[in-house]
Structure 1
Amino acid sequence: MNSPCFLLTATLCLVTCAPVKAQPQAMTFETAWERVKSSSDQLAAAQAAVDGKRLQAQALQGLGGPVVSLSAAAYAYNANLDVNLDPVNQRLTQISQQLPIPLQNLPIPLPVPQFPASYTFNRHDTGTTKSISAVWPIYAGGASDAVRGFVAAQGSEARADADKTGHELATLLVQRYFGAQLAGKVAALRQAALDDIREHDAATAKMLSAGVISRVERLQAQAAYEEARRNALKAQDEAELASIALARTVKSETIVKPETPLFVLTEAIEPLPHFLEQALLRHPGLARVNAKKSQAEQLHQGQEALRKPQLFAFGQRELKTGHANWIGGLGVRWTLFDAVDRNALAAASNKQIEQAERSEAQARSDIGLLVEKNWRSVEQTRQQFLATAAGVALSREMLRLRTAALREGTGTALELIDAEVNQAKVETERAQVAYDYVVALARLLESCGLSEEFGRYIARADMKVMSP
């Protein structure tokens, strides 16, 4: 069976996860998608990023408003001041000598008063101080608006990433859910073919004993039986792997049995322009690019705000009774020169804006090409599925004819075995094409940001590939 995607993911799940219980649990695709949305760690992490940016933006709504602060301090100090008095002593001596009668020449000589060579003053005390102060930026050149806009743009980017994660998980669920459905159908087809071929193998054994057929025909029947047995075992193993992968995806402790069958819309879906228009409106990649552009624009505005003067009011008052000290007034700050080259920064932010604009143009082109590719894939697999109808009808008719021929003795058991193997092959190919159609549709919706509408297409489906 050509279904490597879901088999690979199933194998990875088996390696990394503990085994689930064997009791099957029936689940529709809608229920499985609700389980994924409510239990996915990826979605929870992406939503946490969105919530974090939302709270951050909410916290910055008052940015640029007044800031009031209360301060208090308890202090103790000890201050020592050493004073050199030698110059004073020298000056006193000079003054004494300049007197009309020096003090030493008086009838009673008086010594010139002298101070110590140095003196140390000491002060110490303890105390407390309390004050309230306020600063209110009146004009900051638009810096506050730029910061708020930048954070809001980051929130938009986080939202786009979360949407992208959701669309990718929806496509992954489609692959695993309908991959399990396909694997189960193939296993049932292989098992049914094995049961029929086992009966024919037993019949050829009796026919060989009766001498009706040759030993070569008997060996051919045995070889066909062994091949059918190997194919059935392989298909059953792949079905179990796919079921376990689906259980891991929906975080189920039991094996999940998908109830929603593979489907195909025999009529063409909406035309390509419809999906192109929706993709340009809803694709999370474009939303992310636009958020990056908005961030670059807000960064540029913030840098330009630093060139402008800033006006603010301020005030401070001691918290005490009596004559308290206070101060209040208006202040202006205008940076005339600093070491940062503001012109170069402005040019750099303009280049970031240009980069975002170029990225948006490229993203639009890439998304348009991806949408067209996926749309054509849906249409191609739809036509392929319709083309399998003739082969299925032929294989069923051949099986009916070979069964009747063997019953009437005009055909051989080997011919009937070939018809049964061919029917299982054709039915498997038809189911594979239906799976390819479903996955192509999921990828188309993901590329348009419309993954949530997948259920609407399930409801519209007029051709369903039911399990036998």
Structure 2
Amino acid sequence: MPAWGLPRIAVRRAGWLVIGAGALASTTVGAQEAPVTLSFDAASRRLEGVSPAVSAADNAELAARETAAAVATLRRPIITASAQYIVYQKTLAVDLTGSKQSASAATQDFLSGIPGSVPPAFQVIAGDIVGRISQALPGLFAAIPDTLSYQYRDEVFRPTVQGVLPLYSGGAIPAIQRGAKAGADAAAARAAQARELARINLVRVYFGEIAAGELARSARETLAALDRLLSDATKLEMAGVTPRARTLEAQVARDAAARAAARAEIAHRGARDELARLLETDGVRPSTPLFVASRPLPPAETFLGRDDLPQLRQADATRGLADAGVDLARSRYRPKAFAFGEYNLNRDNALPTEPDWVAGVGVRYTLLSNVDRGHALAAARANAAAASDAARESRKAAVGATMRAWDLVESARQSFLLLDSSLAAATENLRVQQVSFREGEGTLTAVLGAEAALATARTQRAATAYEYDLALAGLLAASGQLDRFPDYLRAADIRLPLEPRP
């Protein structure tokens, strides 16, 4: 059963029409000023512009399309620029113990060889100098610390440009892109479904207002007839032709008709207010009457077999989204490869350890994840299976809904055609009973029965025409042809006269 449902109409033999979903349920009382006369086509065009449900669905579709466009470029590199102002301090410590020992030993070796390398006349002098230097060396080396510590403080402005390019995502990027596209398709299907729901609701409310007006008119005519009957009964009582009980019986029937007329007027006013609220105007006067086609529709099979129904498109998109989820779950088992690079725009003021630029490739593989990848993949596969089953069920439901809607249309058509003879017979029977009563030959009970039969025939005729229009809209929606509703309306050869409006 599609989300928009099928019209439900019940017609009671007493002549009252019960119209579902509130077309006649509102009891708002208020005068309508300057009502706008609108045909059904004009009301449909206005609804497209003022319906919040249609606007919300269109915006949701736009958001989904923009999301799909946003992830369509996931394979592009990511280029970022950053700037840092850094204040840093660096401390260096050098151990000089070994160097001091090596230098002292080398110096002693050097000095010990000096006396032998000079002429004999100077050897005594050289030996005396070497001895004094040797005595001074321990003090000289002792002045050198065992550890040399150096501390440096500086400020650096560090502007850089970084780039990362995905090389292999394990299938994650294509899965995300397919999922986003499926989400956009599902949103488009929901928007189409919302538009169909709005149109069917317009059929319900627009023609429901006319049906409510017909009921109110029939109730007023019945009340007027019973007023005349009460007047005749009173005259006959005063003339001694009928007893007081007959006058009281006529009074009771007349009062019941007055209450029914009041309820019908309130219901009509509520239907009129609902139509005005739907079209966001102060008042609407429908100009397209209830209609029925005397010729039957083409066979039900001709309305089957379409795959572009909104509910089927949404089911297929949901299945595509679930399949993308399976691919995304599989990608978690695969490695990821990427290329990266960075360029320093202020190399003259760079840190000593910083390169001027760097480039490379990297591979990342998740060895252990805190999410069980096996269960995640199993869940994704179960979702895909559920989506596939739901898509098949949607197709079966669409066929069933179409067949039921076709039966409703045909049943309403046949019932309406049979009511023509009933209405004519009820009208003639009432005329005969009224004449007989005035002449004193008929009974009041017979007149009341004839009046009730005529009222029932009138309300049933309006109710059946309304049922036909709603069922036709349901059939066209179930078969994906709701856009053709105005064509069927124009081709109908039976139109109920509209109630005269002030």
How do 1:399-410 and structure 2 match up within 5 A? 399-406=430-437, 410=441
Separation (CA, whole Å) in 2 of partners of 1:397 and 1:107: 153
Residues 292, 493 of structure 2: 8 Å contact kept: yes
Q: 1:378 to 1:107 in 2, by over 3 A?
A: closer
Deviation, structure 1 residue 290: 0.8
Deviation, structure 1 residue 245: 1.3
How do 1:130-279 and structure 2 match up within 5 A? 130-254=159-283, 256-278=284-306
Separation (CA, whole Å) in 1 of partners of 2:258 and 2:21: 23
1:282 alignment partner, SS class: coil
Question: Match for 2:26: what amino acid?
Answer: T
How do 1:59-458 and structure 2 match up within 5 A? 59-80=70-91, 88=97, 113=142, 121-254=150-283, 256-278=284-306, 281-320=307-346, 325-329=356-360, 331-335=361-365, 337-339=367-369, 341-406=372-437, 410-411=441-442, 415-458=446-489
The answer to which of 259-268 and 407-416 deviates more is 407-416
Question: Which string of whole-angstrom CA distances, capped at 9 and with x for unpartnered residues, describes residues 187-234 of structure 1?
Answer: 011111212221232232222222232212211221221111111111
Could you say which structure has the larger radius of gyration? 2
Question: Which string of whole-angstrom CA distances, capped at 9 and with x for unpartnered residues, describes residues 139-184 of structure 1?
Answer: 4344322221110100011111112222222222222212111110
Separation (CA, whole Å) in 1 of partners of 2:367 and 2:137: 70
Structure 1 gap segments, 5+ residues each: none
Q: 1:215 to 1:344 in 2, by over 3 A?
A: closer
Q: 1:379 to 1:448 in 2, by over 3 A?
A: same
Separation (CA, whole Å) in 1 of partners of 2:148 and 2:483: 90
Residues 312, 332 of structure 1: 8 Å contact kept: yes
Q: 1:314 to 1:185 in 2, by over 3 A?
A: same
Deviation, structure 1 residue 449: 2.9
Residues 10, 244 of structure 1: 8 Å contact kept: no
Q: 1:32 aligns with which of 37, 40, 43?
A: 43
Question: Match for 2:401: what amino acid?
Answer: L
Question: Match for 1:54: what amino acid?
Answer: R
Separation (CA, whole Å) in 1 of partners of 2:224 and 2:57: 49
Deviation, structure 1 residue 358: 1.3
Q: 2:64 aligns with which of 40, 53, 71?
A: 53
Aligned to 1:461: 492
Residues 141, 310 of structure 1: 8 Å contact kept: yes
2:305 alignment partner, SS class: helix
Separation (CA, whole Å) in 2 of partners of 1:318 and 1:246: 68
Separation (CA, whole Å) in 2 of partners of 1:155 and 1:365: 24
Separation (CA, whole Å) in 1 of partners of 2:415 and 2:175: 55
Asked if residue 3 in structure 1 is aligned to residue 7 in structure 2, the reply is no
Separation (CA, whole Å) in 2 of partners of 1:108 and 1:352: 91
Question: Which string of whole-angstrom CA distances, capped at 9 and with x for unpartnered residues, describes residues 385-444 of structure 1?
Answer: 222222112101112323444566644566445433321221111211222222222222
Question: Match for 2:20: what amino acid?
Answer: C
Question: Match for 2:363: what amino acid?
Answer: R
Structure 2 gap segments, 5+ residues each: 1-15, 113-130
Separation (CA, whole Å) in 2 of partners of 1:207 and 1:395: 25
Question: Match for 2:427: what amino acid?
Answer: R
Residues 142, 301 of structure 1: 8 Å contact kept: yes
Question: Match for 1:301: what amino acid?
Answer: D
Question: Which string of whole-angstrom CA distances, capped at 9 and with x for unpartnered residues, describes residues 60-119 of structure 1?
Answer: 2222012222222222123456x698x959x97xx99xx999x9xx97896572677987
The answer to which of 136-145 and 348-357 deviates more is 136-145
2:298 alignment partner, SS class: coil
Aligned to 2:9: none
Q: 1:293 to 1:20 in 2, by over 3 A?
A: farther
Question: Which string of whole-angstrom CA distances, capped at 9 and with x for unpartnered residues, describes residues 353-398 of structure 1?
Answer: 2221111122222222222222212222222222222211210111
Separation (CA, whole Å) in 1 of partners of 2:474 and 2:135: 124
Number of equivalent positions: 456
Q: 2:52 aligns with which of 24, 41, 62?
A: 41
Q: 1:421 to 1:22 in 2, by over 3 A?
A: farther
Question: Match for 1:335: what amino acid?
Answer: Y
Residues 318, 325 of structure 1: 8 Å contact kept: yes
Q: 1:313 to 1:248 in 2, by over 3 A?
A: same
Residues 309, 332 of structure 1: 8 Å contact kept: no
Question: Which string of whole-angstrom CA distances, capped at 9 and with x for unpartnered residues, describes residues 5-60 of structure 1?
Answer: 15477439x5xxx9673443322222222222211111111111100011112222
Q: 1:62 to 1:198 in 2, by over 3 A?
A: same
Residues 66, 135 of structure 1: 8 Å contact kept: yes
Separation (CA, whole Å) in 2 of partners of 1:9 and 1:2: 9
The answer to which of 18-27 and 214-223 deviates more is 18-27
- Aligned-residue Cα RMSD (Å) equals 3.5
Q: 1:8 to 1:260 in 2, by over 3 A?
A: closer
Residues 23, 204 of structure 2: 8 Å contact kept: no
Separation (CA, whole Å) in 2 of partners of 1:249 and 1:167: 15
Deviation, structure 1 residue 348: 3.1
Separation (CA, whole Å) in 2 of partners of 1:49 and 1:19: 36
The answer to which of 269-278 and 315-324 deviates more is 315-324
1:11 alignment partner, SS class: coil
Q: 1:422 to 1:194 in 2, by over 3 A?
A: same
